[in-house]
Structure 1
Amino acid sequence: MASHGSRDPGQPRPASPALVLLRTAIWGLSVTICLGIAMLWILMPTNTYRKRWLPSIRRKAGTSTFFGIQGSNLLMFMFPLLFVTCLSCIYLHLSSGRAEKTRKESSEKKGARKYPKPLKRPVLVNGPLGIVTATELAFLVMFVVLLIWSLSMYLRNSFAAITPQQAAELGGTKNETKLWLAGLYLGLVGNIGLAFLFFPVTRGSSLLAFFGLTSESSIKYHIWLGHMVMAIFTVHGLCYIVFWIITHQISKTMEWANTGISNVAGEIALVAGLGLWSTTFPRVRRKMFELFFYAHHLYILFMLFFVLHVGISYACIMLPGFYLFLVDRYLRFLQSRSSARLVSARVLPCDAVELNFAKAPGLKYGPMSMMLVKLPAISKLEWHPFTISSDSSLEQDQLSIVVKKEGSWSGKLCEMFSPSSIGRLEVAVEGPYGPASTDFLQHEKLVMVSGGSGITPFISIIRGFIHMSAVHNTSTPQLILVCSFKNSRDLSMLDLLLPMANSQIDLSNLRLKIEAYVTREIVSSAEHLGKYRTVCFSPNQSDEPLSPVLGPNSWLWLGAIISASFAMFLVIIGILTRYYIYPVDHNKNKFSTSVRSILNILVICASIMIVASTCFLWNKRQSAKEASQIKHLEGSTPSYSPGSRVSSMERELESRPHQLLADVTNLNFGERPDLMRILLGCKESSVGVLVCGPKKMRHEVAALCSLGQASNLHFETISFSW
């Protein structure tokens, strides 16, 4: 028995009051700056900002010989957002050690949150926006209102100020001048959407994590913004083209001005954007994923020529989000240069394969995390996202994903495992990415509804609860897994609920119930359960176990990369401006806008590459020591011969865990789950509901959770649809 005042070494150390105060101060400062940025966006279209504040700021900035007029936008738009990003990195680093403590506290207070969460309840289900919660709808409405407010204020103030001289300078009448101004201000409004477009797809973003979001769950925000941006920019371009046609100035379409706006660059950017946009609609994206994937790389041309179109000074307004995206994208590129160590594979009779990678024990990830995978043997360019099915605490040396044969890429992968053995499979990986923690323990019951391969994210959740109940003896909520399959052989997916090395797993404390439905067969047996092949891969010296890209203190390193690369950019561009641009320009807009923009782009890319590469290589060297300790994995992997097919009754490891799993599984053939009966039949005061599967199933579950009589159902928003 521990003496009085001693602390169990297995428990996390309580946070000191100073640390709590520091986190609170960082959070408060970050939110205050974000509110200030939002207020700036609101004030931008007003005459107060445009005619009083902005000229004053530009006059003061115009005296700078290091940044010129570009300095004002760097100060007002770029610096604050990057500063908040660095603050959020510090906040997340200080909070990372509290994950285990928070989970324990949530377990002790499980069910304490009895009240409904109206802001997280679905309010739109079957519309074009998909499943939208009240919070998401509120922010979407506020953003649309901001766009309408900005456009209306721009047009109202500019139309009232039109003079005959201005119309004559543009070469049109007053009404034709209004068309020109409408095109101009549509471009300014489109830039608002572009400024936020890249935040949701920055996978390792500290800003998303700071606000409790993930890039995977934020993909729909990127889709919404993308559609709005391209629609506005398309109308923006059409307004100018129509104006030039009716005023007989069509030659302006081929104009590339030395200073100011470049029309040709804008047209190239618009064409690239339209090519990208045309492949993003659901029907094209689902049926021709490769086309969607390759066309999406047109964003490089779009962004390059957009900057050349408007100039780097104005581009600084939208640049923070793209800057953070470039940092993240380059770190992902560095990570993907190494070949991941693939240890083994579990081949199921339902044309599904579980790939097991070696990982460093220090690599931690939450349930429902995902990572991107590339197999050069199939395609040297294609990356595909997969949900991680393992739990980082239960399986400290391995990370698993499940690939189900559903397309040409996954079909080729499954064909590799039939029936001949594979000596080695080269795999490149990016990630994992996902929530650092989840609050499932707050619920008394957790209902997980899946269809087909949609069971994959719930495998990691159940494995996590297995670890908590068996190792930490944590009281877990009651788990209900409702899974629907087309054929009985798909029932073999249930074998994945247990990791391959499961002989030491204790399921006795896990309150799990599985309702499995086979919709297209009417039989009374499940002969495919427990039947799979195990394939072991040969080790290779060039393969490396998965490890954190920036080491255990990844948030601090990310903040260091962002701040140091931006500081390097400021120093280099300041020197270039002072000793190369200013002697020509003298802050009078005489230097080539395109050359200035290209110089800034090159300096930004070089700064990010130098700083990120240095930090990455430093952490990789530190991880190499830990990687040497993983080499013994070959001896710990299953020693079954490749290609062997073994029945569940022939393995010693099936005797206990698999029997307990079978005891809690109820098989239903020839019917679909009655989701209304299952969900509305839950009488607990707090029931978490997750769904992953076909669109119709997701919408049905969301609709049930939005009913007034289902106030105890808390719809947990997840997104695994691309």
Structure 2
Amino acid sequence: MGSGTVRRSSPPSSSGGARRIVREAIWVLFIVVFLGTVLIWIMVPTITDSRGWTVSIKAIPSNSTFFGNQGYPMLMFTFPVLFIACLGCVYLHLGNRPSELQEGKNGKGRNKGLATWRRPALVRGPLGIVSWTEVAFLTMFVALLVWSFATYLRNSFRSIDRMGTEHGDKPWQAKLKDSGLRLGLVGNIALSFLFFPVTRASSVLPLFGLTSEASIKYHIWLGHIVMVLFTVHGIVYIIYWIVVGRTSQILMWQGNDEANLPGEISLLAGLVLWATTFPRVRRKMFELFFYTHYLYILFVIFFVLHIGIGFSCIMLPGFYLFMVDRFLRLLQSRSRARLISARVLPCDTMELNFSKTPGLEYTPTSIMFLNVPSLSKLQWHPFTISSNSNLEKDKLSIIIKNEGSWSKKLYQILSSPSPPDRLEASVEGPYGPASTHFLRYEKLVMVSGGSGITPFISIIREFIFMSSTFKSMTPKLTLICAFKNSSELTMLDLVLPFSGIPSDLSNLQLQIEAYVTRDKDATTKSSKQAQAVRFKPSSRDEPLSAILGPNSWLWLGAIISVSFVMFLILVGIITRYYIYPIEQDINNYPTTPRAILNILVICVCIVIVASAAFVWNRRRNAKEAKQIKHLDGSTAAHPPDSGFYNAEMEVESLPHESLAQATNLHFGERPNLKKLLSECKESSVGVLVCGPKKMRHDVAAVCSSGSAGNLHYESISFSW
């Protein structure tokens, strides 16, 4: 299921105005609930919360025979976030209707008002390129952690000084133990946010203008914070047990209290996972990083067994949404995609073409995860979608650069003298922004290095569609692309789609500046030749389709809400008629079985509801799939000739001639990015960059300078 769909062109109407009003009302409600949730997080460590204004609220669900002590955290922490997620689903569904052209024009004022906050604040450093908005939110988040820890300690230390200690501990020993406990509580706060960035089809991230693929760095930041806090938490407790002579506690698995051994197992799994996430290990041994990341399952399960389901409700909503998304991805990945053709370029680049249903729509810069079982049954790799769902209704294309062991194996298969007649593949996605805002700018400058050109191909194709459909002038487009060798110029052949291209591109203001850094002229050639590969799909292969149909956001909201309500009903019944008769008022029921029961109920509810929604929409998708299964790979094959590689464009049509005239080739030099960007005199210039780390830093440095007030920096990077 894609996280966004292309906005269809439609004339303004009264229904569009009504949708806009409803969206604004939902946005106001979202802000109110969000700020209320933040206020709860701020007040939790205070005495006011534990002894004052929330006592009456906490007493109602905690004394309930249906939910017990987990009722309060579910009410205060789990419900608001899932409610926001459902609001986001409705908000995004309503946003799929109005014309993107109209919204883009209306968004120019908002873009200018927030331009300063979007500018890069930090360009080089351990955090990478960070905007002022990200600095502000990161500062507030760290302040929340520091505030919570300091407030917890101040209140608990006062209690120890006033009331004494337990178990005959000295005051400093009790304070040491309490410090470890508070570190764990603060770590739970950070853990609550950890899974939001990796929920690919998220309805929460778009409310903040984010996508999952662009939020991976937040997941990395949160992961480091979580593991530092939990590691220190565990070390402090071990030191405490050694000091007081109770080392047997290390292997203790209590029945009615926090269980120590599960916590240590969870921490150990987290440490192994954490060790492989550092850049040097991740880049050199990606497969090790990939497989050890599955330890998150052990980490979460034993974490819940360690602290019990009550405290787990604090981090539950983020993980709950992740589990819904993960199971939908599992259902989608069970099908074999209908791969109809491939194109192998001389620059060690492959273009794969999949058949898709017309109902599957996606935005520019969207990505798709690909699995080829013959290479690895477990590995999934993200690739940028280069096709456009408006121009190419029945085809989806991705571009793969031969840069790693996995892609090298795939390249060897496709470039062999006798490529296979069929290649099994499964996909997840597409995923991308719910909408694009490129029309807010007067000019769009796209800077790429090597295979970084791929997301810009989808953007250019979107503007080709807009310029021909709306018959109006689109923003000026400048593509600055740097390649190492002349053979990589063949990437420019992919800018125009092979089919569905309009004959008139006069409204498209496109200029391409292509730089070849290692070759002095166009005479350097490679012995490799472009190769077109046609496949004969099996009858079992299915065209790509939206996993939850055209109304995917509404279906996702229904899955989240219905599964959670089912969870509440089942847990209420189990607690009322099984757990409560045993524990009653003396907390006799063991923590571990109760946590296991809740985990099982959550999993069962998600599986039942998500499977039902998937099966319902699968039947509807099957009708569209039958209409296009008769197509074979012949309609999607590309001619192997490459005009750019031969140093001259083959003028096959007016669009190709226009592209050739708009292209300037520069050999033996690198682009002077500072000079090129400073020449942009328009009042609002969007600067997108996708390429090597140094290129991103150089562009961000130019855009962050005081003299570049008209430049608005946006990074498009999918590197892990």
Q: Which amino acid aligns with 2:431?
A: Y
Q: Secondary structure of 1:637's partner? A: helix
Shift of 1:461: 0.5
- 1:270 maps onto 2:267 in alignment: yes
Give deviations 1:319-345, integer Å, cap 9, x for gaps.
000000000000000000000111111
Q: 1:638 to 1:92 in 2, by over 3 A?
A: closer
Q: What residue number does 1:130 align with? A: 128
Q: What residue number does 1:482 align with? A: 480
Q: Which amino acid aligns with 1:718?
A: I
Cα distance in 2 between the residues matched to 1:219 and 1:535: 34
Q: 1:164 to 1:245 in 2, by over 3 A?
A: farther
Cα distance in 2 between the residues matched to 1:653 and 1:530: 23
Shift of 1:314: 0.9
Give deviations 1:421-464, integer Å, cap 9, x for gaps.
32011111000011121111121111111111111111101111
Q: 1:465 to 1:296 in 2, by over 3 A?
A: same
Shift of 1:668: 1.2
Shift of 1:224: 0.8
Q: What residue number does 1:576 align with? A: 574
How do 1:116-127 and structure 2 match up within 5 A?
117-127=115-125
Q: 1:285 to 1:391 in 2, by over 3 A?
A: same
Q: What residue number does 1:323 align with? A: 320
Q: What residue number does 2:628 align with? A: 630
> What are structure 1's unaligned runs of at least 5 residues?
1-7
- 1:43 maps onto 2:43 in alignment: yes
- 1:59 maps onto 2:59 in alignment: yes
Cα distance in 1 between the residues matched to 2:251 and 2:28: 50
Contact 2:90–2:553 (8 Å) recurs in 1? yes
Q: What residue number does 1:352 align with? A: 349
Q: What residue number does 1:452 align with? A: 450
Shift of 1:165: 6.9
Cα distance in 2 between the residues matched to 1:31 and 1:445: 32
Q: What residue number does 2:227 align with? A: 230
Q: What residue number does 1:600 align with? A: 598
Cα distance in 2 between the residues matched to 1:551 and 1:146: 40
Shift of 1:368: 0.6
How do 1:42-441 and structure 2 match up within 5 A?
42-53=42-53, 55-98=55-98, 100=99, 102-106=100-104, 117-163=115-161, 166-169=164-167, 171-418=168-415, 419-441=417-439
Cα distance in 2 between the residues matched to 1:479 and 1:260: 62
2:557 to 545, 559, 562: 559
Q: 1:622 to 1:226 in 2, by over 3 A?
A: same
Shift of 1:110: 7.2
Contact 2:120–2:129 (8 Å) recurs in 1? yes
Cα distance in 1 between the residues matched to 2:321 and 2:664: 48
Contact 2:515–2:667 (8 Å) recurs in 1? yes
Q: Secondary structure of 1:679's partner? A: helix
Cα distance in 2 between the residues matched to 1:156 and 1:708: 44
- 1:26 maps onto 2:26 in alignment: yes
Q: Which amino acid aligns with 1:511?
A: Q
Cα distance in 1 between the residues matched to 2:527 and 2:712: 32
Contact 2:371–2:426 (8 Å) recurs in 1? yes
Q: Which amino acid aligns with 2:540?
A: S
Q: 1:673 to 1:25 in 2, by over 3 A?
A: same
Cα distance in 2 between the residues matched to 1:194 and 1:110: 36
Q: 1:583 to 1:402 in 2, by over 3 A?
A: same
Cα distance in 2 between the residues matched to 1:488 and 1:64: 72
Cα distance in 2 between the residues matched to 1:94 and 1:33: 20
Q: Which amino acid aligns with 1:432?
A: P
Cα distance in 2 between the residues matched to 1:382 and 1:173: 53
Contact 1:107–1:476 (8 Å) recurs in 2? no
Q: 1:19 to 1:351 in 2, by over 3 A?
A: closer
Q: Which amino acid aligns with 1:592?
A: P
Cα distance in 2 between the residues matched to 1:322 and 1:33: 19
Q: Which amino acid aligns with 2:83?
A: F
Q: 1:454 to 1:180 in 2, by over 3 A?
A: same
Q: Secondary structure of 2:223's partner? A: helix
Contact 2:691–2:717 (8 Å) recurs in 1? no
Q: Which stretch shifts more, 233-242 or 461-470? A: 461-470
Cα distance in 2 between the residues matched to 1:343 and 1:241: 59
Cα distance in 1 between the residues matched to 2:703 and 2:601: 51
Shift of 1:166: 4.8
Q: 1:75 to 1:108 in 2, by over 3 A?
A: closer
Shift of 1:173: 1.4
Q: What residue number does 1:3 align with? A: none
Q: 1:511 to 1:119 in 2, by over 3 A?
A: same
- Using the size of structure 1 for normalisation, the TM-score is 0.94
Give deviations 1:15-36, integer Å, cap 9, x for gaps.
3554333222221111101110
Cα distance in 1 between the residues matched to 2:580 and 2:456: 59
Q: 1:76 to 1:645 in 2, by over 3 A?
A: closer
Shift of 1:254: 0.5
Cα distance in 2 between the residues matched to 1:95 and 1:105: 10
- 1:442 maps onto 2:433 in alignment: no
Contact 1:491–1:529 (8 Å) recurs in 2? no
Cα distance in 2 between the residues matched to 1:502 and 1:615: 33
Contact 2:534–2:633 (8 Å) recurs in 1? no
Shift of 1:375: 0.4
Q: Secondary structure of 1:311's partner? A: helix
Q: Secondary structure of 1:709's partner? A: coil
Cα distance in 2 between the residues matched to 1:28 and 1:113: 19
Q: Secondary structure of 1:380's partner? A: coil
Give deviations 1:70-120, integer Å, cap 9, x for gaps.
11111111111111111111111122111x2x4235359879966771000
Q: Which amino acid aligns with 1:82?
A: L
Q: Which amino acid aligns with 1:19?
A: R
Give deviations 1:387-409, integer Å, cap 9, x for gaps.
11111111111111101000100
2:583 to 582, 585, 604: 585
Q: What residue number does 1:5 align with? A: none
Cα distance in 1 between the residues matched to 2:184 and 2:491: 50
Cα distance in 1 between the residues matched to 2:317 and 2:326: 14
Shift of 1:679: 0.5
Q: 1:528 to 1:713 in 2, by over 3 A?
A: farther
Q: Secondary structure of 1:716's partner? A: strand
> What are structure 2's unaligned runs of at least 5 residues?
1-7
Q: Secondary structure of 1:130's partner? A: coil
Cα distance in 2 between the residues matched to 1:425 and 1:23: 44
What count of residue pairs does the alignment treat as equivalent? Answer: 709
Q: Which amino acid aligns with 2:69?
A: I
How do 1:12-23 and structure 2 match up within 5 A?
13-15=13-15, 17-23=17-23
Q: Which amino acid aligns with 1:448?
A: M
Report the identity percentage.
Answer: 60
Contact 2:702–2:708 (8 Å) recurs in 1? yes
Q: 1:62 to 1:445 in 2, by over 3 A?
A: closer
Shift of 1:517: 1.1
Q: Secondary structure of 1:205's partner? A: coil
Cα distance in 1 between the residues matched to 2:686 and 2:343: 31
Cα distance in 2 between the residues matched to 1:183 and 1:635: 62
Contact 1:344–1:637 (8 Å) recurs in 2? no
Q: What residue number does 1:538 align with? A: 536
